[in-house]
Amino acid sequence: MIIVLKQGTTLEEKRKIIENVEDMGLKVKIMKGASQSILGLIGETAKVEESAFFGSPHVEKVVRIKVPYKMASRAFHHTDSVIRVGKHNIGDGSLTTIAGPCCIESREQLFTIAAEVKRSGAHILRGGAYKPRTSPYSFQGMGEEGLKLLREAGDQFDIPVCTELMSTDEFELVESYTDIIQIGARNMQNFSLLKKLGSTQKPILLKRGMSATIEEFLMSAEYIMASGNPNVILCERGIRTFENYTRNTLDLAVVCAIKELSHLPIIIDPSHATGRWELIEPISKAAVAVGCDGLMIEVHHEPDKALSDGPQSLKPEKFAKLMNRVRHIHDVCHEEKKTSDTESVAILHAVI
């Protein structure tokens, strides 16, 4: 529910309205409109009548948000959210690239890849220290030693770092080393973990569950935001269908849906979506063309020797070429009408 206050409402009058709302057991998020103040009511508002607020001469209108995800809804927050990571913004119209190995295997491996992806223009370095694997016998990651290496690489190459958090047990440890906390597909509905993420203001990269609907995806974001952390970045990594040629089935339509339904930025993970390195470039191009805020790509200098996800990892030279091509597509798709539509199509065709 949203309360729009009339122009000229004083701070004292606003405070009284907020106190009345809080007496109902609800929380209030104060937003600033173009010329008015807007109060977002957070909590169980289903039994609250709009008429309860019309007694105040300072309330212009009350709008009920019908979707179950309130804070993640575009109705609650009309403008796009921009998430700050170090010196970089995600969601401001630029194209963000997160790149690095699926898992951290050694100092030499991580630093070699970090140098390459930074040289090619990646904005954020990724690397798994704790790896959720289908088989209990597969490599599970280096743990804290991997986190230390990731932080060291980030500092040396002046690039923010992102790694996955698997449980509340490692929360403080992971938070202390990383700039973005990733929540994997398997944990998208680990609600105790999502609530814990509300205790930090660090950006959360939330991956869509393997069988999750868009509403369930946004409800998981809502858990984090309702717990106190508004800095959520959504990530589509493919959903599970009957198809087995690719690792998962990429739902590109989710980008358009999220842009309509939510203010949160959304990036695409073509590596997990396809599971095949040769498909990463065309899928990345399509994702950028449809309007995603960024890409998350696995890179390995020796994918044949990788301890995890080698078949879906790009070699550094292929990643460099991909970066150049997606940047061109992004520029063409987002530039203002400086050229004619015919010229823009010709440029885009040449890039693809």
Judged by average pLDDT, the poorest of 28-37, 81-90, 170-179 is 28-37
Among 63, 92, 113, give the residue marking a domain's end: 63
In-domain check, residue 267: yes
Answer with the residue of higher pLDDT: 257 or 47. Answer: 257
For residue 338, what pLDDT is reported? 46
| Residue 216 contacts residue 189 (beta carbons within 8 Å) | yes
Instruction: Indicate whether 145 and 273 sit together in one domain.
Output: yes
Instruction: Indicate whether 98 and 181 sit together in one domain.
Output: yes
| Residue 123 contacts residue 81 (beta carbons within 8 Å) | no
How far lies 90's CA from each of 96, 97, 165, 263, in Å?
6, 10, 20, 12
In-domain check, residue 157: yes
In-domain check, residue 130: yes
Sign, Cα dihedral of 84, 90, 93, 99: positive
Instruction: Indicate whether 110 and 245 sit together in one domain.
Output: yes
- Per-residue pLDDT for 317 more than 80? yes
For residue 134, what pLDDT is reported? 65
Instruction: Indicate whether 94 and 50 sit together in one domain.
Output: no
For residue 352, what pLDDT is reported? 53
- pLDDT tens-digit series, residues 297-311: 999 999 999 988 899
Instruction: Indicate whether 24 and 162 sit together in one domain.
Output: no
Instruction: Indicate whether 127 and 47 sit together in one domain.
Output: no
Confidence of residue 37 (pLDDT cuts 50, 70, 90): confident
- Per-residue pLDDT for 185 more than 90? yes
Q: pTM score, two decimals?
A: 0.88
- pLDDT tens-digit series, residues 267-305: 999 999 999 999 999 999 999 999 999 999 999 999 999
Instruction: Indicate whether 118 and 254 sit together in one domain.
Output: yes
Distance in angstroms (rounded) separating the CA atoms of residues 142 and 150? 11
- Per-residue pLDDT for 10 more than 80? yes
Q: In the block, which residue shows the tokens 């073509």?
A: 270
pLDDT above 90 as % of the chain: 68
277-290 helix and 253-261 helix, angle to the nearest 10 degrees: 30
- Per-residue pLDDT for 34 more than 60? no
Confidence of residue 217 (pLDDT cuts 50, 70, 90): very high
Residue 45's CATH number = 3.30.70.1140
Answer with the residue of higher pLDDT: 12 or 329. Answer: 329
In-domain check, residue 68: no
Q: How high is the mean pLDDT of the chain? A: 90
Instruction: Indicate whether 8 and 59 sit together in one domain.
Output: yes
- 289-293's contacts with Cβ under 8 Å and 24+ in sequence apart are 289/329, 289/333, 289/348, 290/252, 290/255, 290/256, 291/255, 291/256, 291/259, 291/333, 292/236, 292/255, 292/266, 292/267, 292/268, 293/90, 293/91, 293/95, 293/96, 293/233, 293/265, 293/266, 293/267
- pLDDT tens-digit series, residues 129-173: 986 666 665 666 789 999 999 999 999 999 999 999 999 999 999
Answer with the residue of higher pLDDT: 113 or 9. Answer: 113
How far lies 16's CA from each of 12, 35, 352, in Å?
6, 20, 58
Instruction: Indicate whether 147 and 58 sit together in one domain.
Output: no
Residue 255's CATH number = 3.20.20.70
Q: Which residue range forms the structural domain that includes residue 119?
A: 83-346
In-domain check, residue 70: no
- Per-residue pLDDT for 54 more than 90? no
The total number of structural domains that make up the chain: 2
Instruction: Indicate whether 153 and 229 sit together in one domain.
Output: yes
In-domain check, residue 77: no
Among 10, 28, 63, give the residue marking a domain's end: 63
In-domain check, residue 74: no
For residue 337, what pLDDT is reported? 39
In-domain check, residue 273: yes
Residue of 156, 198, 196, 152 whose CA lies nearest to 178: 152
pLDDT above 70 as % of the chain: 91
Instruction: Indicate whether 30 and 96 sit together in one domain.
Output: no
Judged by average pLDDT, the poorest of 36-45, 203-212, 313-322 is 36-45
Judged by average pLDDT, the poorest of 55-59, 202-206, 246-250 is 55-59
Distance in angstroms (rounded) separating the CA atoms of residues 63 and 71? 14
- Per-residue pLDDT for 343 more than 70? no
Instruction: Indicate whether 17 and 154 sit together in one domain.
Output: no
